[in-house]
């Protein structure tokens, strides 16, 4: 064999060796590539950056021949834990979320300690009272801040005031107020008085901040008040849950008595005297046959007049003694 033939033989042997060890060399010698579609063929250890994948999930690693797996970021922390794509919300603004599984119709409710799934059809979460879905509204909600403090109207702001109406007058709460408990066992009644004053009636030792008035000796909601909440305290500590008394539906019964008539028209109630029972005053008649109904009466400086039958007046002279 000449020198040229020997060189060709050596080159051929090298090519055969390279072909035999191709996959092994591919695991250590391939560069990181990128593109819009994952290659159909890969070897363990290959890395590929997919520019079409969502941010944070672009990097893929080949863990076995032709098997790509997404490489995600490290696990999250804070309110959300776990790796992206399999994370869990364990807190809301640092406040824990209960692990209890929700049931149909429940909502996530803050109970003063944690966020828990509760049925809202009772109006006050687990309190079971109040006006159906009213507890989902921010207006005049009363919440437990801590064992000594209640907050009234946390969502009542100048830009989003909480309004209440008595007749033709409307009153607004433009900032939250707090009720601070100092001692005692009993109830606190939170309501709007007819004067438009936010009031906490109580049999406890407490103070109310801002535009709120604390009134001792109150054992029930006044009849002319708009109730909001009741909250009980035991040995100087607020109970964990109050009772929502807000109501978007209400009525006022007007029951006429003797001599009183009422009429309804387009939601307005008109109250008037019953002329068949009470005599109505009229202008002094010019003649005894002036128009009148029985029971009507009149007077001037000289006479007192009485209508005794339809359009028939009698009179008597007035004199001093």
- Tell me what the mean pLDDT of segment 146-162 comes to: 91
pLDDT at residue 105 in the model: 67
- Tell me what the mean pLDDT of segment 156-185 comes to: 91
- Tell me what the mean pLDDT of segment 168-185 comes to: 93
Q: Which of 257, 160, 153, 151 is nearest to 208 (CA)?
A: 151
Q: Can you give the length of the chain in residues?
A: 321
260 SS3 class = strand
290 SS3 class = coil
When pLDDT is cut at 50, 70 and 90, the band that residue 53 belongs to is: confident
User: Half-sphere exposure of residue 82, counting CA atoms within 13 Å on the CB side?
Assistant: 9
pLDDT at residue 115 in the model: 81
Kindly report the average pLDDT of the chain as a whole number: 83
Residues whose CB is less than 8 angstroms from the CB of residue 158 and which lie 6 or more positions away in sequence, other chains included: 174, 175
Summarised one tens digit per residue, pLDDT across range 60-107 is: 999 999 999 988 766 677 777 766 666 788 888 888 888 888 877 678
pLDDT at residue 265 in the model: 85
Domain layout of the chain by residue ranges: 22-70, 134-244, 281-317
The answer on pLDDT for 25 being more than 70 is: no
Rounded to the nearest 5 percent, the helix, strand and coil shares of the chain are 10, 40, 50
pLDDT at residue 255 in the model: 86
Q: Residue holding tokens 């305290």? A: 233
When pLDDT is cut at 50, 70 and 90, the band that residue 9 belongs to is: low
Q: Which of 88, 92, 86 is nearest to 73 (CA)?
A: 86
Summarised one tens digit per residue, pLDDT across range 107-136 is: 888 777 888 887 654 444 444 444 444 444
pLDDT at residue 118 in the model: 76
Distances (CA, A) of 255 to 260, 261, 263, 269, 270: 9, 9, 11, 11, 12
Q: Residue 87 and residue 279: Cα distance in Å, rounded? A: 82
pLDDT at residue 41 in the model: 92
Select the more confidently predicted residue: 22 or 283: 283
- Tell me what the mean pLDDT of segment 258-277 comes to: 87
């Amino acid at each position: 064999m000449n020198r040229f033939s020997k060189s060709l033989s050596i080159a051929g042997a090298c090519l055969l060796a390279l072909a035999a060890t191709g996959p092994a060399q591919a695991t250590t010698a391939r560069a990181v590539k990128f593109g819009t579609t994952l290659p159909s063929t890969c070897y363990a250890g290959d890395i590929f950056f997919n520019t079409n994948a969502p941010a944070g999930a672009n990097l893929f690693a080949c863990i076995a021949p032709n098997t790509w797996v997404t490489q995600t970021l490290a696990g999250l922390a804070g309110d959300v834990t776990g790796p992206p794509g399999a994370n869990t919300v364990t807190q809301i603004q640092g406040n824990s979320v209960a692990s209890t599984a929700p049931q149909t119709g429940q909502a996530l409710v803050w109970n003063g300690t944690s966020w828990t799934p509760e049925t809202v059809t009772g109006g006050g979460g687990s309190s079971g009272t109040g006006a159906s879905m009213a507890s989902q509204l921010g207006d005049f909600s009363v919440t437990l801040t801590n064992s000594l403090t209640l907050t009234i109207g946390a969502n009542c702001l100048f830009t989003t005031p909480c309004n209440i109406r008595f007749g033709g007058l409307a009153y607004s709460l433009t900032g939250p107020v707090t009720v601070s408990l100092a001692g005692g066992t009993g109830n606190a009644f939170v309501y709007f008085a007819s004067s438009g004053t936010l009031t906490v009636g109580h049999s406890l030792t407490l103070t109310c901040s801002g535009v709120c008035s604390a009134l001792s000796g109150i054992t029930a909601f006044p009849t002319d008040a708009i109730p909001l909440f009741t909250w009980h305290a035991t040995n100087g500590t607020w109970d964990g849950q109050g009772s929502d008394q807000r109501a978007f539906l209400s009525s006022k019964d007007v029951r006429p008595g003797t001599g009183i008539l009422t009429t309804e028209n387009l939601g307005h109630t008109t109250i008037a005297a019953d002329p068949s029972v009470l005599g109505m005053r009229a202008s002094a008649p010019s003649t005894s046959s002036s128009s009148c109904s029985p029971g009507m009466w009149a007077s001037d400086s000289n006479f007192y007049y009485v209508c005794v039958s339809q359009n028939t007046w009698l009179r008597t002279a007035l004199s001093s003694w």
